[in-house]
């Protein structure tokens, strides 16, 4: 029995291909192409067409043509592939060397293997290879709204494309993503992309090789509103002059290209010539000498000088350190002053020190800490800090077990399960919050909470019986759990020394659920921790 199905009229609910959802937004047919498994050539998944052009000839407006991985074609004749059905999308499947491959080997260099006259068509994820040296215009696009996304590969340094894409003035709203893999020893490539009279074009390039004129070239008729982006390594040219060239001279365009040969980015367009994004001029301006009063034409350093020169003291003759401290430091700090207009920074610093320490002295630290005082007006920072230290709140540590059946499951085989490790002597209490309802085998499994020496120090055995341990229950005492419970003597504070806090699983293992166990603790011995 076959495990495949044919869908000649598409997929009503869409289909996912290699993780990519392909939806029937056109409401038309899905046609298949494969040179490796074509049978009767019906265009179905199991009986695909042998060539892309055969699929186009059977398509109607809006159809999707899917070209299977491993598909190969050699294009010889002019119009070997003719894009003459509006709204057809041709999509190659696969990645890397598994993508469909078209080898362009025309009888003459001026032959267009792929002619594109229909509007709103796309051609993507297909590798095209030069099979004849100096081949020109294998893609000749005259249809509006074209979307082309391919990888072009020159066959060798002696088998190259002169031009890959040539448009006519009818190719408005053009979108091209061209990855061009050439050879730095080649000599045939002139311009991978030539635009003739296009309007509203978006070009993205990834070029490697030698283009004698430009990576993108505007020729014959001016083009308007063209945006060029991407990366180019045009070997032998490092000044950006062969990235984008407007031979017409009146096109309207903008480009921003990372130039691998120059090691910098070039940007510009019809309004301002392509130029390197050079920051050296900024550095020159920033480090220029500054003398005298600042003017509107001064460099950055002069304005910076104006900011730090105060009260008539000139930085020309006095360093910033001298202005702030003097050669041997500040001989006498001014008397403390409450913040106000006309108070200098040293008075403010002395006031802050006095407020913190109760004195303007004690430069080497607080000799004697004052007694603790509840935070209030006219209480020094040292008094408040001492109060916080002496009245510190318990530290809280959380142990989250989102899935009690996951790694180190709450099972009788893994019991007891360590929640935290106590080092030294601490005072602590432990309780739980159910994040997902906990059940057990036969509804008879029990959980208790304690330490190695006393497994039920805080909470004795509590049965996970589908009533206890419901979602959002709190676990603070034995027998039952609810969404609210008072702490009691058995779940309150305990003194623990160098032991581990553990959950003990008895009778039967848990089967589902999750819990967060909280440990509130305060150190008793010096350096005590709960981790």
pLDDT tens-digit map of 66-105 = 999 999 999 999 999 999 999 999 999 999 999 999 999 9
C-beta contacts of 381-387 below 8 A and 24+ residues apart: 381/355, 381/356, 381/357, 382/356, 382/357, 382/358
Please give the pLDDT value at position 359.
54
Q: How many CB atoms lie within 10 A of CB 332?
A: 6
CA 444, CA 442: separation in Å to the nearest integer? Answer: 5
> Taking all residues of the chain, what is their mean pLDDT, rounded to a whole number?
84
Q: How far is CA 277 from CA 27, 203, 213, 235, 252, in A?
A: 48, 21, 22, 20, 21
Query: In 3-state terms, what secondary structure has residue 355?
Result: helix
CA 530, CA 511: separation in Å to the nearest integer? Answer: 29
Please give the pLDDT value at position 481.
78
The residue with tokens 């990576």 is: 215
pLDDT band for position 407 (cuts 50, 70, 90): confident
| Residue 176: burial class (beta carbons within 10 Å; 0-12, 13-18, 19+) | buried
> Does residue 507 have a pLDDT over 90?
yes
Q: Do residues 167 and 193 make contact, with C-beta atoms less than 8 angstroms apart?
A: no
CA 214, CA 42: separation in Å to the nearest integer? Answer: 44
CA 300, CA 287: separation in Å to the nearest integer? Answer: 8
Please give the pLDDT value at position 208.
97
pLDDT band for position 492 (cuts 50, 70, 90): confident
Please give the pLDDT value at position 370.
75
**What is the pLDDT averaged over residues 370-387?**
73
Please give the pLDDT value at position 3.
40
Please give the pLDDT value at position 76.
93
Please give the pLDDT value at position 96.
93
**Of the spans 351-355, 364-368, 432-436, which averages the highest pLDDT?**
432-436
Phi/psi of residue 166, each to 5°?
-125, 135
> Does residue 438 have a pLDDT over 90?
yes
CA 406, CA 427: separation in Å to the nearest integer? Answer: 31
| 111: its two tokens | 């032959």
pTM: 0.54
CA 300, CA 319: separation in Å to the nearest integer? Answer: 18
* pLDDT above 70 coverage of the chain, percent: 79
In Å, how far from its chain's centre is CA 438?
Answer: 37
Please give the pLDDT value at position 304.
67
pLDDT band for position 315 (cuts 50, 70, 90): very low
Please give the pLDDT value at position 2.
38
Position with higher pLDDT, 19 vs 125 = 125
> Does residue 356 have a pLDDT over 90?
no
Q: How far is CA 181 from CA 13, 263, 372, 432, in A?
A: 38, 19, 75, 62
Exposed e or buried b per residue across 397-434, where buried means at least 16 C-beta atoms within 10 angstroms of its C-beta: bebebeebeeeebbbbeebbbebbebeeebebbbbbbb
Please give the pLDDT value at position 344.
78
- Least-confidence region, from 120-124, 288-292, 316-320, 334-338: 316-320
Please give the pLDDT value at position 14.
55
Please give the pLDDT value at position 395.
81
> Does residue 477 have a pLDDT over 50?
yes
Please give the pLDDT value at position 419.
94
pLDDT band for position 307 (cuts 50, 70, 90): low
pLDDT band for position 279 (cuts 50, 70, 90): low
CA 188, CA 326: separation in Å to the nearest integer? Answer: 71
pLDDT band for position 360 (cuts 50, 70, 90): very low
**What is the pLDDT averaged over residues 190-219?**
97
């Amino acid at each position: 029995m076959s495990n495949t199905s044919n869908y000649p009229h598409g997929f009503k609910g869409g289909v996912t291909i290699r993780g990519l959802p392909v939806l029937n937004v056109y409401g038309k047919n899905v046609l298949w192409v494969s040179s490796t498994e074509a049978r009767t050539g019906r265009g179905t998944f199991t009986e695909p067409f042998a060539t892309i052009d055969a699929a186009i000839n059977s398509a109607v407006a809006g159809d999707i043509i899917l070209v299977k991985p491993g598909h190969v074609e050699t294009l010889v004749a002019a119009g070997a592939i003719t894009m003459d059905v509006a709204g057809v999308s041709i999509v190659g499947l696969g990645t890397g060397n598994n993508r469909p491959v078209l080898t362009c080997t025309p009888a003459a260099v001026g032959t267009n293997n792929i002619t594109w006259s229909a509007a709103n068509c796309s051609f993507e994820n297909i590798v095209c290879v030069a099979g004849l040296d100096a081949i020109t215009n294998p893609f000749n696009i005259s249809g509006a709204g074209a979307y082309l996304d391919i990888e072009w590969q020159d066959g060798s340094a002696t088998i190259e494309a002169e031009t890959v894409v040539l448009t006519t003035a009818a190719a408005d709203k053009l979108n091209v993503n061209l990855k061009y893999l050439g050879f730095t020893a080649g000599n045939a490539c002139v311009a991978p992309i030539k635009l003739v009279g296009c309007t509203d074009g978006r070009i993205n390039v990834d070029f490697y090789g030698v283009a004698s004129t430009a990576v993108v070239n505007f020729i014959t008729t001016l083009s308007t509103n063209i945006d060029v982006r991407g990366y180019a390594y045009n070997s032998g040219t490092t000044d950006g002059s062969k990235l984008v060239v407007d031979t017409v001279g009146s096109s309207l365009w903008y480009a921003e290209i990372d130039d691998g040969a120059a090691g910098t980015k070039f940007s510009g367009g019809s309004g301002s010539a392509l130029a390197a994004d050079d920051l050296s001029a900024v550095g020159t301006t920033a480090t220029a000498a500054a003398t005298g009063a600042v003017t509107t034409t001064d460099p950055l350093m002069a304005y910076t000088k104006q900011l730090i020169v105060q009260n008539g003291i000139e930085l020309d003759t006095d360093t910033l350190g001298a202005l702030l401290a003097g050669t041997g430091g500040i001989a006498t700090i001014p008397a403390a002053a409450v913040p106000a207009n006309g108070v200098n920074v040293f008075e403010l610093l002395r006031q802050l020190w006095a407020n913190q320490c109760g004195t303007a002295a004690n430069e080497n630290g607080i000799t004697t800490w004052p007694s603790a005082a509840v935070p209030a007006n006219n209480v020094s920072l040292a008094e408040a800090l001492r109060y916080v230290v002496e009245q510190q709140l318990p530290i809280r540590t959380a142990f989250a077990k989102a899935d009690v059946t996951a790694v180190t499951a709450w099972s009788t085989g893994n019991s007891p399960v360590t929640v935290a490790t106590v080092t030294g002597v601490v005072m602590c209490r432990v309780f739980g919050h159910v994040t997902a309802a906990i059940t057990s085998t036969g509804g008879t499994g029990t959980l208790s909470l304690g330490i190695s020496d006393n497994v039920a120090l805080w909470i004795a055995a509590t049965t996970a019986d589908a009533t206890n341990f419901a979602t959002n229950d709190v676990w603070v005492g034995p027998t039952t759990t609810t969404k609210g419970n008072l702490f009691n003597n058995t779940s309150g504070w305990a003194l623990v020394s160098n032991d581990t806090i553990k959950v003990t699983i008895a009778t039967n293992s848990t089967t589902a659920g999750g819990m967060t166990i909280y440990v509130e603790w305060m150190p008793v011995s010096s350096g005590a921790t709960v981790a």
